[in-house]
Structure 1
Amino acid sequence: MVCLLSAALIIVTSATHFEIMTGVAILRRRKVLSKRAEMVVFLGSAFLAHLFGVSLYALAFAWMHYHPEFGSLAGLAGSNATDFFYFSLTCYSTMGFGDVYATGDMRILAGLEGLNGLVLIAWSASFTFIAVERIWRDDPK
């Protein structure tokens, strides 16, 4: 069950990221925005895509936390949305402070979220590099 949930989350977050990046690229080709506005739209879109992914994982962790057969999150100050979002954010960004940690099968999802986050963050960084290079190359100044 955890492997299926992990696979579904990886597919959904990757597909969402792809669609957002594609939308920004299409917007850039239409040249409807200034160079600065393009960067603001791109960076804002990438940031929102990452927050969406973190939020999906947080929902999965919350659901699993309340179903003990999957394990739980140890070290939580409480069991509210902020706690699950915080744990998801530390996994996704691979920051992993260690104050909250997964037990049981939930550890698999936590590890795979880190891998998924690392790939998507690298993808955003690569896309940003290419976008900035094109903006500077196309700028006649």
Structure 2
Amino acid sequence: MQPLVTAAVFAIALVSFCVVLHYETLVQLERLSRRLRRHRWTTLITVHGLLLAHVVEIWVFGLGYYVAETYFGLGRVLPLEEQDWFHHVYYSAMVYTTVGFGDLVPTGAIRMITSTEALAGLSLITWSASFTFLQMQRLWRR
């Protein structure tokens, strides 16, 4: 398979996994919020739950970069002095949050995964913000 096609399939798989994970997190947080009586706890649990979901999603993409680079040869995230997966997690956090990068730069077909993660991260963060807003609006009306 062409490296670009492999990277596109890889990106679709990573995004799909993260979207399902995020959706299930939101469903569980909504169910939990209906059972809690104190909106202070509901808000704290919601924010912490969403932050945890985002961290897990960043790690999923970080692992994806590591696998794409190490086992599929889809490019590199440079400069990497060593093949350390944690550098890929750091790179993933910079891309997911759309902070940008400068010390680590993608080369090769792995750039397809990078651009897809930036779009997914922006969408998932926005989804979390919308969920939090709607939940707080509902809680503060009580």
Q: What TM-score do the two structures reach when normalised by structure 1?
A: 0.91
CA shift, 1:78, in A, is 3.7
Written as runs of structure 1 = structure 2, the 5 A alignment for 1:1-141 is 1-30=6-35, 32-67=36-71, 69-76=73-80, 78-138=82-142
Q: Distance in 1 between matches of 2:93 and 2:30?
A: 27
Structure 2 unaligned segments of length 5 or more: list them: 1-5
C-alpha RMSD over aligned residues: 1.4
What is the aligned-residue identity percentage? 30
Q: What TM-score do the two structures reach when normalised by structure 2?
A: 0.90
Q: After alignment, is 70-79 or 100-109 more displaced?
A: 70-79
Match of 2:98, SS?
coil
Match of 2:80, SS?
coil
User: Would you say the 8 A contact 2:78–2:104 is kept in 1?
Assistant: yes
Structure 1 unaligned segments of length 5 or more: list them: none
Q: Distance in 2 between matches of 1:135 and 1:114?
A: 31
User: Would you say the 8 A contact 1:77–1:83 is kept in 2?
Assistant: no
